[in-house]
Homo-oligomer: A and B are copies of this chain.
Amino acid sequence: MARNLEGVPFPHLLDAGRAEQVAQRVKAAIDHINAAGKFGGLEFYFLEELSALDRQVLAEKRLISPQHAELAPGRAAAIRRDEGVSIMVNEEDHIRLQCLFPGLAIGGAWRLASEIDDWLEQRLPYAYCPRRGYLTACPTNVGTGLRVSVMMHLPALVMSGEARKLFSAITKVGLVVRGLYGEGTEAAGNIFQISNQVSLGVSEEEIIEKIRGVATQIVEQERSARQGLLRQARAKIEDRICRAYGVLSQARIISSEEAIRLWSDVKMGIDLGVLNGADSRPVNEVLVISGPGYIQRLAGRRLDATERDIRRALLIRERMRVYKSP
């Protein structure tokens, strides 16, 4: 959700002093929310007070954008302890509010975001035009200021080659497909982010319904592609899954790219029941562990690439121990 303060230039036009003022005003609104005991407590951070490593970890966890992790005056973030809510201050807009829910829980995420938005609005007059809706730094966000995104793991659609055709169809109905870390990133680990392109001239409910409908269809297609692959090439798919399990469980040196690629195969193996009696949380942690920032913060110091690859392999091996050899 993109919001801006009435009568204040957009962040890219602010000098340091005024950017700082915006951050202080948002902080006051957050303090007000926390004082009311709402939303489980939002921790407020001025990003310049965090180390570069800490900012990198926030970006790897998708709590702030990679751009926001770079230092600039007045940049701040408010983050709920469970990391399900984050608010970026002075990113592209004064306020970018994000709610992250597991599963296809768009309604829940939307209700929570609206409620937090209402609380913020009690203290912060928004730039709003009755005819155009919420005003934003980039015209594509004007209107509802809402971006609804669904992160989807689609290995079978990629393997079967159906993904490309599907994504081109999705683009035609006004949605956008991006990689794991948002705009301009690769679909590492076969994870795709599907979002609305337009936020003007449609209601929030229409956006949510469209994304929900498309996502449900994609889930069906992915499931049927998986069954198709199993029918046509069971040994090949099982081989791929089991090799990925073998390497993730045993490697002593592993790059972030390889770990995420193998994660995708293991995750599919869990979903298909090839890896038995397993829930997918430990292997999902591989995605966070894989980030270079996370590993260095855990080590408490900068590490060169080889040291990171060795520590990454160790952390992943520990997570993999919960899975029984298939």
Binding site for B on A (CB under 8 A): 235-236, 238-239, 242-243, 245-247, 249-253, 306, 310, 313, 325-326
- Besides A239-B251, A239-B252, 11 other CB < 8 A contacts? A235-B306, A239-B253, A239-B313, A242-B251, A243-B247, A243-B250, A243-B251, A246-B249, A247-B247, A249-B325, A250-B325
- Using Cβ atoms and an 8 Å threshold, which residues of chain B touch A310? 235
- Using Cβ atoms and an 8 Å threshold, which residues of chain B touch A247? 243, 246-247
Nearest-Cβ distance from residue A318 to partner chain B, whole angstroms = 13
Closest to A313 in B: B239
User: Is B253 a contact partner of A236 (Cβ separation < 8 A)?
Assistant: yes
20 contacts between A and B (CB under 8 A): A235-B306, A236-B253, A239-B251, A239-B253, A239-B313, A242-B250, A242-B251, A242-B252, A243-B246, A243-B247, A243-B252, A245-B246, A245-B250, A246-B246, A246-B250, A247-B247, A249-B325, A250-B325, A250-B326, A325-B325
- Using Cβ atoms and an 8 Å threshold, which residues of chain B touch A253? 235-236, 239
Q: CA A252 – CA B313 in complex, angstroms?
A: 23
Q: Across the A-B interface, give the 9 residue pairs with the lowest CB-CB distance, nearest first.
A: A246-B250, A246-B246, A239-B252, A242-B250, A239-B253, A238-B252, A246-B247, A235-B310, A242-B252
Number of copies of this kind of chain in the complex:
2
- Using Cβ atoms and an 8 Å threshold, which residues of chain B touch A325? 249-250, 325
Q: CA A56 – CA B298 in complex, angstroms?
A: 56
Closest to A254 in B: B239
Nearest-Cβ distance from residue A24 to partner chain B, whole angstroms = 48
- Using Cβ atoms and an 8 Å threshold, which residues of chain B touch A326? 250
Nearest-Cβ distance from residue A285 to partner chain B, whole angstroms = 19
- Using Cβ atoms and an 8 Å threshold, which residues of chain B touch A243? 246-247, 250-252
User: Is A235 a contact partner of B252 (Cβ separation < 8 A)?
Assistant: yes
Q: CA A245 – CA B325 in complex, angstroms?
A: 13
